[in-house]
A and B are shown apart, each in its own frame.
Chain A
Amino acid sequence: MAMGKKMTSAIVHLTLILATIVTIYPVLQVISISLRPGDSLYSTSLALIPEGATLNAYKTILFEKPFLLWMRNSLLVSITVTILGVALASTAGYAFCRYRFPGRGIGLMSFLISQMFPATMLLLPLFLLLKKVGLLDALPGLVIAYVATALPFCVWTMKGYYDSIPVDLEEAAMVDGLTQIGAFRKVTLPLSAPALMITALFSFITAWSEFMVARVIIQSLDLYTLPLGLESLAGTFQTEWANYSAGAVLVCIPVVALFLALNRYLVSGLTLGGVKG
């Protein structure tokens, strides 16, 4: 019995350790490359911190390339997408959860179905739509595209969470003196913090790391977002690998910071089912 348990535990841990290594190795590799002095992608050295490590690449990226401009564009787009995503998903999810209206079932189902197609399939229709409304090569166009792709998941997340909050609470708040909207704001929304965090994070990351849609919609160099900018560093004849890697590391930092900051909510958010009332 005890042996069996120990074996299971050992196997589980071994698997986890392997998975962790597989996940972390490329990241370490990128960091390592970003610290190399030359532009050598391939090096026989396995040292994490390469010989003659330097932060030159970071300096180059930050001050000699329009990295800060890309960062500004990306932040602008991602933050707008996050705000819109949270605002729309929290209200739409509420409507889907609490009200019965014509088209409710179809609406929920079409959100789900839209998730079954790869995003690339949306490229052409998105392009045509944005062209029609004159938002090609403009950040608002990009925002609309990202909100549209993030929304189905977010609405489902919010709806699922609201479903787990007893209606009694809102009714008590209404008897206590609030309107339904007031009850939603004062009771349901604060209780939905974990789901709101997931929605926010998902919206942000969707916008932050997206490349394909941006590539198609954005042409002007000064509207480049980070993924577009990074890609432009990979030249046709020669790629400045150290700069490229340094850029990649810098791009990751805000996302990692966000994850760490919201970690608490995420954990409780992912175990939502068990937490009631």
Chain B
Amino acid sequence: MTEGTLAPDCRPRLAPHVRLRFDAVRARQVLLAPERVLMPDETAVAVLQLCDGERSLAAIAAELAVRYQAPPAVVAADIAEMLQDLVDKGLVLA
């Protein structure tokens, strides 16, 4: 594995044993994995919902940059950092 940030052309997706779902009791999205429950914030949820293994990291960043009216380069850097952390935890494959 290489250290550092993900390449713009990688196509991230949730690892097969990881599930993102809405929890009605807490009224929020939760990320479920073995022995782990994560409560991703709204931005992280927006990213994870686009991690379908088809969109590239660059495409995800472009889409969210439009949605949040933010500079694409900044969005791309933020997303890459967040996803790298989830890749290191084995929750996202890229």
Do A and B make up one complex? no
**Residues on A facing B (Cβ under 8 Å):** none
